[in-house]
């Protein structure tokens, strides 16, 4: 892992930097996200700032450059004991340096304070991401066939969960 890595919560002041990273994620890996570049690119900066104010989004910085993001949302009502990880992305130039592992570890630390179970989805073809999540104890509990569509291509999503209470 890079020694000058810093992970912190992103705030509305980070909206411009977050917007750039988020749009890069949607453009470079469109199959991995429920949203799309075309949907988010026209949005005003205030929309991204509001998202940061109302979500728990973490950013990974190397030499003050945002190189990755991940977020966790706590569900409501009878599912308020469950968090959902979304928006996991590491810029291609920063991959292979342990930044993804550091982001997952950090977001799990946040989630552990608020929920008992964390869920996520990952495109079935994304073997490196699946291995990363499994290394933290996530278990596959289902498969959503044709969950995402990018152009004429469909992608299945693996449903994964980590139960903090059942972890030894």
pLDDT per residue, tens digit, the chain (168 aa), is: 567 999 999 999 999 999 999 999 999 999 999 999 999 999 999 999 999 998 899 999 999 999 999 999 998 999 999 999 999 999 999 999 999 999 999 999 999 999 999 999 999 999 999 999 999 999 999 999 999 998 899 999 999 999 999 765
Sheet holding 56-62, edge to edge: 5-9, 56-62, 65-74, 82-90, 117-123, 153-163, 139-150
pLDDT of residue 168: 56
Q: Which residue has the tokens 């509305």?
A: 12
Per-residue model confidence as pLDDT tens digits over 44-63: 999 999 999 988 999 999 99
Give the pairing type, strands 5-9 and 117-123. unpaired
**E strand or H helix that includes residue 128:** helix 127-135
- Cβ–Cβ under 8 Å, residues 94 and 68: yes
pTM of the model: 0.92
Structural domains for the chain? 5-163 (3.40.630.30)
Give the C-alpha separation, 108 to 84, whole Å.
Answer: 10
Diameter over CA atoms, the chain: 46
């Amino acid at each position: 892992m890079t020694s000058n890595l810093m992970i912190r919560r992103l705030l509305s002041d980070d909206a411009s930097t977050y917007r750039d990273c988020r749009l890069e994620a949607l453009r470079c890996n469109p199959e991995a996200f429920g949203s799309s570049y075309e949907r988010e690119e026209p949005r005003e900066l205030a929309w991204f700032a509001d998202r940061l104010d109302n979500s728990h989004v973490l950013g990974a910085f190397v030499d003050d450059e945002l190189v990755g993001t991940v977020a966790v949302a706590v569900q409501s009502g009878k599912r308020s004991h469950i968090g959902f990880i979304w928006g996991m992305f590491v810029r291609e130039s920063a991959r292979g340096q342990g930044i993804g592992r550091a982001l997952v570890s950090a977001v799990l630390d946040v989630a552990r304070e608020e929920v008992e179970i964390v869920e996520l989805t990952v495109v079935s073809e994304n073997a490196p991401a699946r291995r990363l999540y499994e290394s933290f104890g996530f278990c596959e509990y289902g498969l959503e066939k044709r969950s995402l569509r990018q152009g004429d291509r469909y992608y299945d999503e693996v449903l994964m969960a980590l139960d903090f209470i059942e972890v030894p």
